[in-house]
Chain A
């Protein structure tokens, strides 16, 4: 996992990077007072962003998801001076995962695990969405290919569909791909 660590205190950042590396993560550290966060996120494409609750750069990080309309990457917040009660309240209120200062590996691991799980959930959802989208595209292209065959070969709808299916089977293509091949060929002629 690529973890981006955003903390303005260099010492704490260094102390946090070590346990993250021990857990096998690839870590890039940033300070919001010196780096262009938007560019950094774009460049490193982190899977999780770990950010100090009190850095001003949080507004930049949050907007990245909203501006690009991408599903936001999991953002894990950590707080330097928070009591457990604070964190409980924050979580109840819907604020993303909260970690207290200290960052000992034992505590960090479950949090990162949760972030991974959440990230994978997002990915699954996103894939599902893309699948639905491509199914829709398939249906549209199959309709178009069928129309072409009906016109060119003077077939009825069932006949055109059968022909398309046979072409797909012969060439070992998915039906949608066969339809797109046919449309592309027709456009060339």
Chain B
């Protein structure tokens, strides 16, 4: 079918998980779909939001909760947005400054034991009359923000009383940690590895340990754009699914790293970019690093959206009286994903919801059991069943 538009401008923020966009452009997957794509590297998530809202970008690399916040009208702009494609799972790291690392006296790097030690240090600090420690994340509506809070609260640390949470753009995290203006952060690859390589911080946890294979970035568009460009939207999704498939071929990861470095998309050393993409068992759902395609990683689960809605409620970001189910279903559109995947006969989940927290390893999905999913445990052993 004819595309409504061939010249497309896509926004991205300099992070390794923008890889599907970069690969689709550089390896010709967009071209295969008849799309002439220009990638625009943006400096902030606010800029991504504004430019997509204003139509200056057709679509963009977004934090998974951003389309939900936009649709709920709580993002400061209130232009409804949606996603029909998840770009990756996992990838974030929690790091602390060297001085906090030594005070924590960690003997194992698990969310529970790091949390216990952190709580003890925070209590000692408070008893000594020290100002609260400062931890940074990247955006009020980000997986980073919610996983940091989920972890802290799960370790009996009140993220509003016992700590101060601030927002710092990813490329500035390392400097802020070095300056001592923050004590720790939760950020996407490669910035945790960069801090560690520079001897400024220590990575103590990653996103996978807090919630296995949890959602991270999505391809976001405005609702109006999607309605005006249905075929173009499907073509974009199809090209990015192909790119994700390509990225999860183990042999392709180092080429992907080279594309990112040579295209100057992320200003980090080639070593850290390679390290962020190199994983023990690439392409397997049990992989704790960045997953782009395996385990239905590209599928926009409505249950993931519902989980984010729940976190927005929990932390008082969402006004009362909003229908969470309608909000999640308006912002996450698996129906469009299926339409795009059908174009090249890719099997995809028949259901929109899945429970979380019950699987420690690879499992298949009822009713057809053809699609393998990875582990989905939360660190605190909680279960999550959307309804």
Contact = CB atoms under 8 A, between A and B. Distances in A.
A60 B76 contact: no
Interface stretch (A33-41, A101-109, A139-147, A166-174): A33-41
B382 interface: no
Nearest to A62: B46
A62 B168 CA distance: 11
Given A90-B56, A94-B77, A95-B50, A56 B169 contact: yes
Contacts of A90: 50, 53-54, 56
A89 interface: yes
Interface in B147-164: none
Interface residues of A, number: 27
Contact of B167 (A54, A55, A67): A67
A93 interface: yes
A89 B54 contact: yes
B181 interface: yes
Nearest to B160: A67
A93 B169 contact: no
A180 interface: no
A59 B179 CA distance: 19
A57 B54 CA distance: 20
A60 B168 CA distance: 5
B77 A95 contact: yes
Given A55-B44, A56-B172, A92 B181 contact: no
B104 interface: no
B55 A39 contact: no
B370 interface: no
A59 B50 contact: no
Nearest to B52: A93
Given A32-B172, A59-B138, A59-B169, A93 B50 contact: yes
Nearest to A39: B181
Given A55-B44, A93-B55, A95-B53, A67 B169 contact: no
B165 A54 contact: no
B79 interface: yes
Given A60-B166, A94-B53, A94-B77, A36 B44 contact: no
Contacts of B166: 38, 60, 63, 67
Contact of A55 (B43, B138, B181): B43
B169 A57 contact: yes
Nearest to A92: B54
Interface string B336-361: 00000000000000000000000000
Interface in B128-180: 138-140, 165-169, 171-172, 176, 179
Contacts of A32: 169, 172
A93 B168 contact: no
Interface of B: 42-47, 50, 53-56, 76-79, 138-140, 165-169, 171-172, 176, 179, 181, 317
20 contacts: A32-B169, A36-B181, A38-B167, A53-B50, A56-B171, A57-B172, A59-B44, A60-B166, A60-B169, A62-B76, A62-B167, A86-B54, A89-B54, A89-B55, A89-B56, A90-B54, A92-B54, A93-B79, A95-B50, A95-B77
